[in-house]
């Protein structure tokens, strides 16, 4: 399993609207991509202008293809909420320390 981790610096008070856009506009796009498993939005209470998104993919190549072929369109959806460029990090998910229930649900 592979992960894309996005850090978004957002305008104050925009988190509820951004969450709605993620659900209605971004998630349907991601669900169409081969290898996409899940998206986990992370709203940190102590950082009201930070928003994190973790997307999980079957393989690295799936995440890379999405990033290359379609991320500019998704980034344009995020742009009205941002105060700085998005930081994107990629990483392998060590399934040996993940819960079996989560892995089974994602498979």
Number of H helices, E strands in the chain: 5, 4
pTM for the model stands at 0.85
- Structure tokens that stand for 103 in this block: 């892995």
Give residue 85's pLDDT band: very low, low, confident or very high (50, 70, 90): very high
- Structure tokens that stand for 53 in this block: 């998104």
What pLDDT score was predicted for residue 105? Answer: 66
What pLDDT score was predicted for residue 31? Answer: 93
């Amino acid at each position: 399993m592979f992960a894309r981790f996005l850090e978004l610096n957002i305008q104050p008070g925009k988190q509820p609207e951004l969450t709605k856009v993620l659900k209605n506009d971004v998630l349907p796009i991601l669900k169409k991509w081969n290898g996409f498993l899940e998206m986990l939005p992370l709203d940190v209470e102590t950082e009201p202008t930070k928003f994190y998104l973790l997307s999980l993919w079957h393989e690295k190549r799936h995440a890379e293809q999405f990033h290359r072929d379609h991320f500019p369109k998704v980034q344009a959806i995020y742009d009205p909420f941002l105060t700085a460029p998005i930081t994107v990090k990629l990483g392998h998910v060590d399934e040996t320390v993940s819960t079996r229930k989560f892995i089974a649900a994602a498979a």
